[in-house]
Amino acid sequence: MFQNPEISLDELPRADDLDWLKLHPQYARRIRVQTLIGVAIVGVAITVLNLVPNLPLTPFLILYSLLAIAATALLVWPGFSIPRQGYVLRDKDILFRKGVIWRSVTAVPFNRIQHVESSTTPLDRKYDLATLQLFTAGGSSGDLKIDGLDKDVAENLRIFILGKVGAIVESD
């Protein structure tokens, strides 16, 4: 006969008690370099617009001020957000946490994963970083994306997860 006993909330494992693995220490620097590249492009665009004759100077001063404020915020933010991100590999799933103001923990069971991908951008390669992306059944895009991993760690995780997925398929 089917039974479904209740579980006390006190018996549930706490996410805070897990040994969260941190992202690569160079990840914050990589984000800051990407931010500086974007700010430089916007700054050049504003400067080119400023070269148009007979345009008033005040809007450009406002734009430069807004750009400086946005750049400062974007350069400081990784120092707050990156240390609060992390992942945990468990026997049957992988967990990823993120967020400073709005915090979230995402759990992806290995038996739901259909595809695992690691990728890099030119800037990632400069800092030996990679992104791990997990795709589950029914999803059109990656269901879990972990940026800022060491490239070797990302590849080892990819192989490990594919092995777990293969073992689950073989045992069914």
- pLDDT > 70? residue 168: no
- pLDDT > 60? residue 114: yes
- pLDDT > 80? residue 8: yes
Q: Residue 93 corresponds to which tokens in the numbers above?
A: 């799933």
Least confident of 5-9, 62-66, 140-144: 140-144
- Structure-derived torsion over alpha carbons of residues 160, 165, 167, 172, reported in degrees to the nearest 10: 170
Instruction: Give the span between the Cα atoms of 39 and 29, in whole angstroms.
Output: 15
- pLDDT > 60? residue 1: yes
Chain segment 37-61, per-residue pLDDT in tens: 999 999 999 999 988 888 898 999 9
- pLDDT band for position 167 (cuts 50, 70, 90): low
Least confident of 48-52, 79-83, 115-119: 48-52
Q: Residue 63 corresponds to which tokens in the numbers above?
A: 């734009």
- pLDDT > 50? residue 109: yes
Mean pLDDT score, 152-167: 90
Q: Which amino acid is at 133?
A: Q
Chain segment 13-43, per-residue pLDDT in tens: 777 778 999 999 999 999 999 999 999 999 9
DSSP at 127: T
Q: Tell me the whole-structure pTM to 2 decimals.
A: 0.82
- Cβ proximity of 24 and 148 under 8 Å: yes
**What confidence score (pLDDT) does residue 172 get?**
46
- Cβ proximity of 145 and 95 under 8 Å: no
Place of tokens 């001063």: 61
